[in-house]
């Protein structure tokens, strides 16, 4: 099979260099009903969902357990989480997504997964240079 040359262009490049030892950290803002929180979340291409620490959902004024219940499975086990619609702002883009907040505070990670974030973008990753290139999928 002969390879087909493809040219892609991207609107934004994110240099995650200093954080690369602990993963690809991306600055995001979550907003619900006028309340916002800013945080760093890790890009996880193996995660089905976007998951944020419970404390961020509480800071947004969400009643966590009133969301859509979902059992999240990881390589370390499983935990209960609840889905809520939030507005995510990331670089030059803003969009609504359903994200999940754990039932307990013990889950201390913020993850950008396939549904709710990754499926909205075209992504190129050059980890050797610690650079993530992004464009919205529809651009």
In this predicted structure, what is the pLDDT of residue 136? 92
DSSP string, 23-87: --EEEEEEEETTEEEEEEEEE-TT-SB-B--HHHHHHTT--GGGSEEEEEEETTEEEEEEEEEEE
**Band of residue 133 on the pLDDT scale cut at 50, 70, 90:** very high
Domain covering 19-136: architecture:
Beta Barrel (2.40)
Q: Where are the domains of the chain?
A: 19-136
Q: What is the pLDDT of residues 100-116, one digit of tens each?
A: 999 999 888 999 999 99
Which pLDDT score, from 0 to 100, does residue 41 have?
96
The DSSP H or E segment spanning 57 is helix 54-59
* pTM, two decimal places: 0.90
């Amino acid at each position: 099979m002969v390879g087909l040359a493809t040219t892609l262009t991207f609107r934004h490049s994110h240099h995650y260099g200093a954080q690369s030892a602990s993963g690809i950290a991306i600055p995001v803002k979550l907003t619900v009903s006028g309340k916002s929180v800013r945080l760093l979340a890790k890009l996880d291409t193996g995660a089905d969902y976007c998951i944020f620490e419970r404390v961020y959902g509480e800071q947004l004024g969400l009643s966590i357990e009133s969301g859509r219940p979902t059992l999240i499975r990881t390589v370390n086990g499983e935990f209960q989480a609840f889905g809520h619609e939030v507005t995510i702002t990331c670089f030059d883009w803003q969009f609504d997504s359903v994200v999940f907040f754990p039932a307990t505070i013990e889950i201390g990670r913020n993850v950008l997964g396939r549904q709710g974030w990754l499926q909205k973008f075209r992504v190129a990753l050059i980890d050797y240079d610690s650079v993530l290139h992004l464009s919205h999928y529809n651009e």
